[in-house]
Structure 1
Amino acid sequence: MEQTKALNALEPFLALSKSATSPRAAADLVTRATSAPNTFLFSDLLQTPAVQNLTDSEYASHLVLLQIFSYGTYSSYKSTQGLPALAEAQATKLRQLSLLSLARDRQNLSYAALQDALDLPGSREVETLVISAVYAGLLHATLDPARAAVQVASVAPLRDLAPGSIPDMATALKIWADRCTTTLSGLELQIKEIRTTAAARQREQRAADEKLQQLMSDSQEGTGPRKYELPNMTRDMMARRGFNKRSVMDVGNLVDNDSMDVDESEEEKKRASKRKL
C-alpha cells in the first residue's frame, strides 16, 4: 500500500519531466520532488532523460542528490561535498528514508547510533523522527526508552537498489539458503535416529512380552517349570533374561497368588487332622 501511494505521488513529477527541457528546469524538478509529501520512491524519476542529462551540466549535484534520496543515507549526503542545501522538509524525508536502511541491522537502532547517523541533537529528536516515520507508514516500530533503542517490526519497501548491490544480495541469499539446507539435514538425521531408537524399544518390548506369555503358558500346562519354582528366579535374573519391569511385576504377582493358594491348602489339611483327633 505504501509503495503504491509513493508511486502515485511521483506521477505528477514524471509528467513534468517530459517538459523539463533545460538543466535548470530538471534541477528544479528534483528539488520539488524531494520536498513534496508522500514521495519516497525516486527510481523512475532518476531514469528520465531530463534528469539523466544533468550529468554533464552545472546542476550535476542535483542528480547526485536525487541518487542519495533514492538509495543513499543522510550520512552519505553529509560526506559528499558540493551538494545543494536541504530544506527542512527534504532533511526530514532523507532522515526518514535513512532510517529504513539503518533498520536492516539491529545494532544501528540504539538512540546513540541513530543520533550519530542521522545528525540529530538528542534522544528526543530521535524519538520524534521515528514517530513521524511510523505515522507516514514507512515502518512499524516501538520506542524503548528504558533500553534507549528502537524496536523495528517491519519496514515498507520504499528504498531503491544501489548500482552493484544485486551481487551482494545474491551472495547473502546463497549463504542463507546453505544455512537452511544444513539445518534441515541435521533435523532429518535427528528424526531418523529417534525413529530407529523407538523401533528398537518396540522390538525389545514385544520380545519381553512374548517371553512372559510363553512362561505363563508353560507353567499353566505343566510343560515348563512348576509354579512354585518361579520364586527361585530373582527379579535381577528375570531382568537379565529380557523381562522388563512390568513383566517382572506381573510374574511376581502370579507367583504370590500361587503361593497363597498352596498355604491355604496346607492350612485346611492341618485343621482336618485336628478334627479327626
Structure 2
Amino acid sequence: MSVEGVRDEAVIDEARSRSEHVLAGWLNRQSGVCSALDDALSYSVLGTGKRLRPVLVYLAGRALGAADEALDSPAAAIEMIHAYSLVHDDLPAMDDDDLRRGRPTVHRAFDEPLAILAGDALQTLAFEALASRAHPRLGALVTTLAQAAGRDGMAAGQAIDLGAVGSIMDLAALQAMHQHKTGALIRAAVRLGALVAVAETDPRVAALDRFAAAIGLAFQIHDDVLDVTGDTQTLGKASGADAHRDKPTYPALLGLETAQARARELLDEALEALKPLGEAGQPLATLARFMIARDH
C-alpha cells in the first residue's frame, strides 16, 4: 500500500475512534429514570459496528474545511438513527434475527418491548444530538436527517423490502429499494458533513452527493454478495439469511459475478465524482474502496 493509502487509513481510524468517543458521551449519560432502557441503548450502539456513516460525516466535512467539533453532533446523530433501524429491523415482526454484530440482538439480550423502546429512544436522541449545537444551517441539517430516515427514505425502503419477500423484482425496483433502505442514510451522512462546512449551492456538495449515491448502492450490493459468500462468524450475523427469507437481492437477480461487477462499476463512478475535491477527497476514496472490499 502507498504512503498516501496508509495515511488515509489512519485518518479513517481516527474518525472512527472519535465517533465512538462522542457516542459514548451521549449514551453513557445515565438518565436515572430507567436503568434497563439506558443499558439497552448503550448495548445497541457502543463497542460494535464499522461506524461508516459517522466516518462519512467527518471525511466529507473535513474535505470541505469543517472542524471536527462542528461535525461531532451530526456524526453521532446519524449513527444513532442507523442503530435504531438495526434494533427494529431485527425484531420478530420484521427480520426476526438472533445475531447482530457478533452478539445477540437487542430483543434477545433484553426483551422485545424494551428493544422497541430502545429504538424509539435512539431515534429521538439522534435529533436531540443534532440540535445540541447551534449552526446557521441547522434547519437543513435536521431536514436532511429526517427525510433520509423517514417515509421517503430508510423507513420506506424497509417497508418495500418487507413487502417484497417471496416476490420477483426487476432491476429498477430492486435498485430503488436499496437506494432508500441503505443508500438514503449514506447520502445523508455525506450531505450532513458537507452542509456543516458550506452552503448547499457550493458545487462540491453536488459532487459529494453523486459520490454518496454511487457508493451507497455499491455498499448494499456488496452486502447482498456477502450474504452469499460470507460466513456467520465473520459477518457477525447469520449468513444466507436473504436466501432463507426469499428476499430479492442483486446476486439472486443478476448472478454473483454480475452483481460484483456492478459494485465495482459503481465504485468507479464514486471515485470519478470525487475528482473536483482533489487531494481533500482521497480519504473518502480510500473508505469507498473499503466499503466494497470488506468481509463483514
Q: So what's the TM-score if we normalise by structure 1? A: 0.28
Q: So what's the TM-score if we normalise by structure 2? A: 0.27
Which structure has the greater CA radius of gyration?
1
Q: Which has the higher contact order (CA 8 A, sep 6+)?
A: 2
